[in-house]
Amino acid sequence: MTLGEAASRDVTIVGGGPIASDVIVRIWRKEGVMAAVSRAGQPRRAENVIGVITKQHVADSVAAGLKMHPR
């Protein structure tokens, strides 16, 4: 079974390597809630997943950046 077959449509699958903004755009375009990140150069299968990026991670990162640079 591939990761794509196991994942719901709310999950986008990305290979290791894309910059964060690319991953965020992919999540947004697919109206997803998270991206499963697989090892670069490996088949996108469950055993190759090295992490996830969720909308919450993105929001926390933005908030942290705003806190570092208050107006």
d(CA 24, CA 1): 26
Q: What is the pLDDT of residues 11-27, one digit of tens each?
A: 777 777 767 788 888 88
pLDDT in tens, 33-49: 888 888 888 887 878 88
Domains and CATH numbers, the chain: 3-68 (3.10.580.10)
Q: What pLDDT score does 30 carry?
A: 83
Read off the amino acid at residue 46.
Answer: A
Output the pLDDT for position 5.
55
Q: Please give the helix or strand (H or E) that residue 38 lies within, else none.
A: strand 34-38
Instruction: Give the residue from 9, 27, 8 showing the smallest Cα distance to 18.
Output: 27
pTM comes to: 0.64
